[in-house]
Structure 1
Amino acid sequence: MQNPYVVIDLETTGFSLKEDSIVEIGAVRIENGQISDTFSTLVKQDRPLTDICKELTGITDDDLADAPTLEEVIPQFLKFVDGYNLIAHNASFDVSFLNAAFERCGYLPVSGRCIDTLELAQILWPQETGYALEMLTFKYGIPHEKSHRALSDAKATAELFLLLQRQAKQLPLLVLQQIEQLNMFADWNLRDFFAELLQDPVKLAQTEIPEGCTVIQQLVHRPVEIAERSADRREPLEFDAETATSILSNQGPLADQYADYEERTSQMEMARTVADALLSNQHLVVEAGTGTGKSLAYLVPAIYYAVASGERVAVATHTINLQEQIKDRDLPLLQQILPISFRATVVKGRNNYVCMRKVANGIHSQGMVGDASERSFYARMLTWLLETAAGDKEELNLQGSHIELWNRVASDSDSCIAKKCPWFRNCYYFRNRSATEQSDLLITNHSLVFTDLNADHRVLPAYSSLIVDEAHHLEDEATKHLGEEAGYYQSIAALNRLVRENKQGLIVQMRTLIGLHPEFALLARILDEMTDTIATVRQHAEETFRLLQTFAIEQANNREGGRWTVRIHHMHTELPIWQAILSAFDNLQTDTMTLRQLMKRLEQEAREHDDEIIGFSTDISGQIQEFDRQTMTMTRFFREAAGVSNESDRSVLWLEADEKSVRPAVSLHVTPVHVGQLLNEKLFEKKDSVVLTSATITVNQGFSYLIDRLGLRQSEQQGRLLTLQVESPFDYKKQALLCIPTDVVPVKGVSDETFVDSFCQSITSLARISKGRMLVLFTSHKMLRDAYMKVKPALAEHGIRLFAQGIDSSSRMRLVHQFKQEEKAVLFGANSFWEGVDIPGEDLSCLVIVRLPFWPPNHPIAEARTEAIEKEGRNAFMEYSVPQAIVRFKQGFGRLIRSKKDTGAIVVYDRRLVEARYGRHFIKSLPNPWIYQGPEQDILKVIYNWLKN
């Protein structure tokens, strides 16, 4: 007989336990695997409902007029749930509000365990893209008529639970037993759920392993085979530029796939030029407007060149989205249509792959897995290994603490024991590495390219030519990776993986493994010394970062989103607090040196024992090396700070601190002021050909800005640089209307509050005309939040939903999905929304740019680069700030028109676009939209007619 359950769901006026209250309760009984009874009630409120609550639930103040009070509801609810085990989706939210209500009414808090179907779904369906109730019920066809009504949500959760229960019964017996072992010494909410499954005598008799799986040291997983190096010989292949263009022509194999295929002149021209650059060992910078089809324009010649020459070509993107598009859409298409065979492999950083030895160590260390989040994580690893063929972190939608927990099971070179590992022949990382060695084409990302450059090309297999897509990010990526960064969270995380305050961690696990056996006496003493030393190291690290946090908040003059930044000048190093920081760091260095010495002793002693001991020693060494890298960066930071001058043009030192964090969340940065020379030395001089492409890399229709910033001027002087600008196939004159209101409040000379007040009135009017369907891009999160509070009620009066980044969700994908689902909606975004957001068709008809996207001039990097340019007697604003903003502006502009059928209006509420002398450079850099400027009321009429027609 199955345990009886009650599924609960609450609707509340908000998310704050102190300020908000329960407005509706729904509950469903489950007995013998069936829904047997329901409970539902509204709850009277002592104040009007918030607009958000009414909009989300559909409940009105009139609905609550005759509802019972909380004091009347709670006894009835307790009677309904008495004797039943509780279930909820995202249970911590519901339980916390219930307990607050119980306390208010004089009852004891919820006792016993509450099963969370969100957590259970993460374990049993480890590769879902999202775990919101609405997403899961939609995918699995569970009836869910009234989302955000308590009884409907409770019923949907009940059906979800029953489905998950059936899924759990299908797990192999060994996996269920291992999940139970994880909970042997713990009070986990899911403990009874999994224990109940093991009480079934039929299940206990099912000892077979799932088809296609294997078992190594009690870990069930799908076998991974490392392919042997291929020895096949290919026929010689002739290749020239015309070969590449023929594939994309109306007479080519691509046209055979699509009945309405039309060759694109711009795509053909780009493919021809990429081929020429590869064949002649030249570098190429090419801007290909939206709709060109640039990925095929470089992939086709890259594949032909690699196969014909035998020289591997790498393709690097900035975003995962584009990398996945190439992997899932472009490469399968080309494998199908090209008359030649080729091999392509997606290459990711090593820590994207799971290390099965580390998973096994965590699972087999009974009683050593700490909190509920860890148990949930390792249970999820067990079920994921039954499914995954790649072992790639990207398959998992990791959130919260699971993101940090991934580092415990991630593959890395510091802790790899290679052929001594029992999983070596089944290693996901080495399987991928073997595939890359046999590939003609590598698909990777900017970050890994720079990691490879810093490691003297030991990370990626050798390649002769590189194609960089989304190249407008290259300077920022180079700045990030060619510099150094150390931080509190990275440092403490490494220590926590060794010894945590709750007596968990690798050292504790190893100490428990060897026990009191005399054979391990020396190992035990070393581990005990390390535990004591780490406690001291942690103390000095906390002190150092705490002082740095105080210093940063006191000295910073730049604050955005609760983050303080301060650039280090010579005057700072003379302050008393700086001397205190150096003293604390000196103590940290001394203890870190002791830790290094203990690690060497541990490694020497571990070699005398078996592979399991060696494995633990290697894992411990890896974390100490990670911590050591952090302290070495800090050492460089303080050493350079001692000799820093305000005129330094080589590197800039700066701190970033979070003022609101309970912990001293500080990061230290040593960043190159100029990356151009470094890129020339490390990249452009080392490779036969580098192709840089993007939809937005010209300024004033020219490449001069990019050539200077990326260090390509020397290649140009040597005659090794080609440039090409191909136009988009879209007719922007007919598809895009650019409007600049000339009578709106100016950006400069008024307070942000005044600007936001004026702007919000404009947004409301514009949203009504466009019937929602509007994306608003901000340059400031604070301004976004202020505008959201003012605009949301006004839009609600007209039946228009408002979604905002960082308020409704931090997930860009989720917000865009919600925006598309609504008939009338407005979406507020900042930073990441300026590019990569793709909303084609009628879902988006209006784009608003609040301000021109200039970098904060007092950010340490911008400040240092400005000083360096001005030191040479040049105009930093026109040569650096304006071009940088133009590239960003073009990215934002590109969100509107995504296909030949799209039409819409762009409104820029920044009069500098037409009033400042540099404004014409922004407009000249755009792809020739129809432009209208005038009073706002006239612009509203023009947009209305434009959208109507």
Structure 2
Amino acid sequence: MNPSASEVLGSDGPLANALDRFRPRAVQQQMAEAVERALQQGEHLVVEAGTGVGKTFGYLVPVLMNARRTILSTGTRNLQDQLFQKDLPLVRDALVGAGLGRVPRLALLKGRSNYLCRHRLALAREEGSHGTRGQADQLIRIERWSARTERGDIAELSGIPEDSPLWPRVTSTVDNCLGSECPEYEECFVVRARRRAQEADLVVINHHLLMADLSLKEEGFGEILPSADAFVLDEAHQLPDVASAFFGRSVGSRQLLDLARDSVAEQLREAQDMADLREAADAVATAVAALRSVLGAGTGRGPWARHQDNDQVVEAMNTLVERLGGLVMWLDTAADRGKGLEQCARRANTLRDRLVAFLEPEPDTVRWVETFTRSFALHATPLSVAQRFGERMRAYPSAWIFTSATLAVGGRFEHFTGRLGLEEAQTLCLDSPFDYTRNARLYLPPNLPPPNSPTHTAAVVEAALPVIEANPGGTFMLFTSHRALREAADLLEGRLERQLLVQGTAPRDELLERFRAAGDAVLLGAQSFWEGVDVRGRALSCVIIDKLPFAAPDDPLLEARLAAIREAGGNPFMEYQLPQAVLSLKQGVGRLIRDVTDRGVLMLCDPRIRTKTYGRLFIDSLPVIPTLDSLAEVVGFLMSDDETIHEAAGH
């Protein structure tokens, strides 16, 4: 009789025998037992697994032992690659080596935009105009790589920025893919990836790809989901926001400009006599630029209601709809000239319909505008996805496991389960096994001004400086706004004897690499550094957080959701704003202790922790960390060397 998943993760199990640094953890075994039961009984399970539980092994062992067809979805492409290239092979080889089950077929599947499109690469080559000299050089690199790559995953090609304007030109979207009519169809990397996924026992995807299918927005994955026996969703705290985006409708300037450019390229290939089509496409591009200019010079989010009474915006929007209609007419006329023009015609019709629909308000939907330096996006987002997500999930009568380090608020899951319509899910809250009582300290600096004070950031910097200087290791300073981050960076410039790294001055991965290498650097980060960052050891031994991470009150989605709760007789602060802030804080705090030998100080610089009654909920949702009352105690803890911490780190 085969052992249970819990036994496999025990001191005498195959993982302990195969991995030198593996150490059994009771909470990990408890998670594996719950996941195994959910898989066998087809249950819905929600698991919060604190830092150090080892949740990846906690679900991979029962999944691989279960030998059923499984979809494993993660929050980001980086996590996909980590799972597929490292964690899955590790667990699989240990289990197979112990004679526990057959060798499963594994597949990695990403969205279309992650794979090179040979057809669009040819179009980019024929088009000839590549912007800067640097982009021309990048295109040459992409062409050389295209001749040797087997999977076409653009993550293989380093050295070209993720935001390079070339990538949208040499990858496809649902809108511009020619499908089986494409001359490169049999050699298509997306088609090959799907075929591998169809034949696999376990497929690693990400939440965006999962939601594209669940929301019935074709991404070529629909033929795989119905055959799955189990779904495991890691980093599940990201799901409600991802689901909101996919159950809504959006149209952006990039889609419209891509359409205009592709229409010109296809006209030159397939209908050179139709100069009017090219003029219509150029008119759309001009109208897009005009609408962006009247939406204002700033960047950020705002409700459409702020713009809909602006005569300039209304005129620019009407002009765009009109110009797009003209392009639709010419593309419909030219559609029979070739598959490329036929596809452009379909895209133009779809985008025009979305634009027209955006102008018509819908119940329980918020319309909002997102502006960037040179672009914009128009969104219509449902206030709640609970009913729709719950219905789509239940359409697949399989086991569904949701897990993350941050799902519970004060030990309760109602906020998360309510947002996704998980009405009958089993829940399990597993605390971190790390010894926070011995290895960590919480410092709430006294006499700081309130967070809305114009002097707050300066006061945070002054309070942080002696802590940073006393810390022999590295320090994260996490901010709730980019404005505060920039102000702190200016205030710290030239005042530190160690390296200062600031978000925005280099790619995130490069900053983290430099931070780890320095060992005692100071890194200033905003939202993207609050989660998904793993720095172990002394290189990160102090985390300083400027404010409790309440979402910006002027965010249009938040405004609308709070208003809906208020109109229903609820308390929007207690029911939405506070739980969201607690979960965000837990993510930031989770950066501090990443291994059993880690130790450090958490410094929270928001006086509301002490002065507001809700401050207790934040503290109660964190691991139990002793509080230090004075700077001297903080300095003493940071400079001490705890000789008792020598236990080896485990998986």
TM-score for the superposition, normalised by structure 2? 0.91
Q: Deviations over 1:617-669 (max 9, x none)?
A: 333444454444433322111112xxx7xxx5x111111224xx4x4x22211
Q: Give the distance between the partners of 1:537 and 1:337, measured in 2 at CA.
A: 57
Number of the residue aligned with 1:267 = 28
Q: Deviations over 1:135-180 (max 9, x none)?
A: xxxxxxxxxxxxxxxxxxxxxxxxxxxxxxxxxxxxxxxxxxxxxx
Out of 362, 380, 403, the residue aligned to residue 670 of structure 1 is 380
The answer to whether residue 267 in structure 2 is matched with residue 507 in structure 1 is yes
Q: Give the distance between the partners of 1:595 and 1:900, measured in 2 at CA.
A: 65
The answer to whether residue 613 in structure 2 is matched with residue 877 in structure 1 is no
Number of the residue aligned with 2:409 = 699
Out of 281, 290, 294, the residue aligned to residue 534 of structure 1 is 281
- The verdict on how the C-alpha distance between 1:802 and 1:722 changes in structure 2, with shifts beyond 3 A counting, is same
Corresponding residue SS for 2:231: strand
State whether residues 487 and 630 of structure 1, in contact with CA within 8 Å, keep that contact through their aligned partners in structure 2. no
1:494 deviation in Å? 2.5
Number of the residue aligned with 1:484 = 249
Q: Give the distance between the partners of 1:903 and 1:758, measured in 2 at CA.
A: 26
Corresponding residue SS for 2:360: helix
Bigger relative contact order, structure 1 or 2 (CA pairs below 8 A, ≥6 apart):
2
Corresponding residue SS for 1:766: helix
Q: Deviations over 1:508-559 (max 9, x none)?
A: 3x16xxxxxxxxxxx443x323213223333333334434x14xx6xxxxxx
State whether residues 46 and 426 of structure 2, in contact with CA within 8 Å, keep that contact through their aligned partners in structure 1. yes
- The verdict on how the C-alpha distance between 1:685 and 1:927 changes in structure 2, with shifts beyond 3 A counting, is farther
Q: Give the distance between the partners of 1:453 and 1:841, measured in 2 at CA.
A: 40
Number of the residue aligned with 2:351 = 630
The answer to whether residue 124 in structure 2 is matched with residue 372 in structure 1 is no
The answer to whether residue 192 in structure 2 is matched with residue 453 in structure 1 is no
State whether residues 852 and 889 of structure 1, in contact with CA within 8 Å, keep that contact through their aligned partners in structure 2. yes
Number of the residue aligned with 2:318 = 583
Q: Give the distance between the partners of 1:322 and 1:357, measured in 2 at CA.
A: 29
- The verdict on how the C-alpha distance between 1:484 and 1:439 changes in structure 2, with shifts beyond 3 A counting, is same
**What runs of 5+ residues in structure 2 fail to find an aligned partner?**
644-651
State whether residues 534 and 595 of structure 1, in contact with CA within 8 Å, keep that contact through their aligned partners in structure 2. no
- The verdict on how the C-alpha distance between 1:389 and 1:867 changes in structure 2, with shifts beyond 3 A counting, is same
Number of the residue aligned with 1:794 = 495
The answer to whether residue 42 in structure 2 is matched with residue 281 in structure 1 is yes
Q: Which amino acid aligns with 2:105?
A: R
Q: Which amino acid aligns with 1:805?
A: Q
- The verdict on how the C-alpha distance between 1:258 and 1:631 changes in structure 2, with shifts beyond 3 A counting, is same
Q: Give the distance between the partners of 1:879 and 1:374, measured in 2 at CA.
A: 48
Number of the residue aligned with 1:724 = 428
Pairing 1:847-858 to 2, within 5 Å after superposition: 847-858=543-554
1:375 deviation in Å? 3.3
Q: Which amino acid aligns with 2:87?
A: D
Q: Give the distance between the partners of 2:354 and 2:53, measured in 1 at CA.
A: 43
Q: Give the distance between the partners of 2:20 and 2:314, measured in 1 at CA.
A: 73
Number of the residue aligned with 1:388 = 149
Number of the residue aligned with 1:821 = 517
Corresponding residue SS for 2:460: helix
1:403 deviation in Å? 2.9
- The verdict on how the C-alpha distance between 1:371 and 1:297 changes in structure 2, with shifts beyond 3 A counting, is same
- The verdict on how the C-alpha distance between 1:747 and 1:938 changes in structure 2, with shifts beyond 3 A counting, is farther
1:407 deviation in Å? 2.5
Number of the residue aligned with 2:260 = 495
1:366 deviation in Å? 8.5
Q: Give the distance between the partners of 1:469 and 1:401, measured in 2 at CA.
A: 24
Q: Give the distance between the partners of 2:237 and 2:127, measured in 1 at CA.
A: 50
1:274 deviation in Å? 0.8
- The verdict on how the C-alpha distance between 1:803 and 1:545 changes in structure 2, with shifts beyond 3 A counting, is closer
The answer to whether residue 441 in structure 2 is matched with residue 680 in structure 1 is no
Corresponding residue SS for 2:377: strand
Instruction: Report how many residues are paired.
Output: 634
The answer to whether residue 478 in structure 2 is matched with residue 777 in structure 1 is yes
- The verdict on how the C-alpha distance between 1:456 and 1:404 changes in structure 2, with shifts beyond 3 A counting, is closer
Pairing 1:315-334 to 2, within 5 Å after superposition: 315-334=72-91
State whether residues 287 and 724 of structure 1, in contact with CA within 8 Å, keep that contact through their aligned partners in structure 2. yes
Q: Give the distance between the partners of 1:444 and 1:475, measured in 2 at CA.
A: 17
- The verdict on how the C-alpha distance between 1:262 and 1:948 changes in structure 2, with shifts beyond 3 A counting, is closer
Q: Give the distance between the partners of 1:666 and 1:424, measured in 2 at CA.
A: 32
State whether residues 540 and 587 of structure 1, in contact with CA within 8 Å, keep that contact through their aligned partners in structure 2. no
Q: Which amino acid aligns with 1:657?
A: T
- The verdict on how the C-alpha distance between 1:577 and 1:426 changes in structure 2, with shifts beyond 3 A counting, is closer
State whether residues 739 and 939 of structure 1, in contact with CA within 8 Å, keep that contact through their aligned partners in structure 2. no
The answer to whether residue 530 in structure 2 is matched with residue 834 in structure 1 is yes
TM-score for the superposition, normalised by structure 1? 0.63
- The verdict on how the C-alpha distance between 1:361 and 1:546 changes in structure 2, with shifts beyond 3 A counting, is closer
Q: Give the distance between the partners of 1:577 and 1:456, measured in 2 at CA.
A: 33
State whether residues 608 and 615 of structure 2, in contact with CA within 8 Å, keep that contact through their aligned partners in structure 1. yes
1:371 deviation in Å? 5.7
Out of 657, 681, 692, the residue aligned to residue 371 of structure 2 is 657
Q: Deviations over 1:414-466 (max 9, x none)?
A: 55566666654433222211111111111000000011112277524132321
Q: Give the distance between the partners of 2:159 and 2:527, measured in 1 at CA.
A: 22
Q: Give the distance between the partners of 1:623 and 1:464, measured in 2 at CA.
A: 38
Corresponding residue SS for 2:528: helix
1:576 deviation in Å? 3.5
- The verdict on how the C-alpha distance between 1:456 and 1:773 changes in structure 2, with shifts beyond 3 A counting, is closer
Q: Deviations over 1:178-204 (max 9, x none)?
A: xxxxxxxxxxxxxxxxxxxxxxxxxxx
1:894 deviation in Å? 0.6
Q: Deviations over 1:872-900 (max 9, x none)?
A: 21211111111101111001001010000
Corresponding residue SS for 2:602: strand
1:939 deviation in Å? 5.0
1:480 deviation in Å? 1.6
Number of the residue aligned with 1:435 = 196
Q: Which amino acid aligns with 2:263?
A: L
- The verdict on how the C-alpha distance between 1:300 and 1:579 changes in structure 2, with shifts beyond 3 A counting, is same
Give the greater-gyration-radius structure (CA).
1
Q: Give the distance between the partners of 1:591 and 1:724, measured in 2 at CA.
A: 56
The CA RMSD measured in Å over matched residues stands at 2.6
Q: Deviations over 1:364-422 (max 9, x none)?
A: x3867676345323311232134322111111236469733222322455555666666
Pairing 1:51-66 to 2, within 5 Å after superposition: none
Pairing 1:238-257 to 2, within 5 Å after superposition: 243-257=4-18
Matched residues, percent identical?
A: 31
Q: Deviations over 1:248-287 (max 9, x none)?
A: 2222221211346432111111111111112212100001
The answer to whether residue 502 in structure 2 is matched with residue 804 in structure 1 is yes
1:578 deviation in Å? 5.2
The answer to whether residue 449 in structure 2 is matched with residue 745 in structure 1 is yes
Pairing 1:219-230 to 2, within 5 Å after superposition: none
Number of the residue aligned with 2:649 = none
Number of the residue aligned with 2:457 = 756
Number of the residue aligned with 2:626 = 930
1:828 deviation in Å? 0.5
State whether residues 592 and 628 of structure 1, in contact with CA within 8 Å, keep that contact through their aligned partners in structure 2. no
Q: Give the distance between the partners of 1:536 and 1:335, measured in 2 at CA.
A: 56
Q: Give the distance between the partners of 1:268 and 1:279, measured in 2 at CA.
A: 16
State whether residues 735 and 903 of structure 1, in contact with CA within 8 Å, keep that contact through their aligned partners in structure 2. yes
1:293 deviation in Å? 1.4
State whether residues 303 and 440 of structure 1, in contact with CA within 8 Å, keep that contact through their aligned partners in structure 2. no
Corresponding residue SS for 1:800: coil
Q: Which amino acid aligns with 2:116?
A: V
Q: Give the distance between the partners of 1:370 and 1:321, measured in 2 at CA.
A: 29
Pairing 1:631-650 to 2, within 5 Å after superposition: 631-640=352-361, 650=364
- The verdict on how the C-alpha distance between 1:785 and 1:707 changes in structure 2, with shifts beyond 3 A counting, is same
Pairing 1:126-525 to 2, within 5 Å after superposition: 243-259=4-20, 261-307=22-68, 312-338=69-95, 339-340=100-101, 341-363=103-125, 365=126, 372-397=133-158, 399=160, 403-412=164-173, 423-455=184-216, 459-460=221-222, 461-462=224-225, 463-499=228-264, 505-508=265-268, 510=269, 523-525=271-273
Q: Which amino acid aligns with 2:574?
A: M
Q: Give the distance between the partners of 1:759 and 1:369, measured in 2 at CA.
A: 46
State whether residues 443 and 634 of structure 2, in contact with CA within 8 Å, keep that contact through their aligned partners in structure 1. no
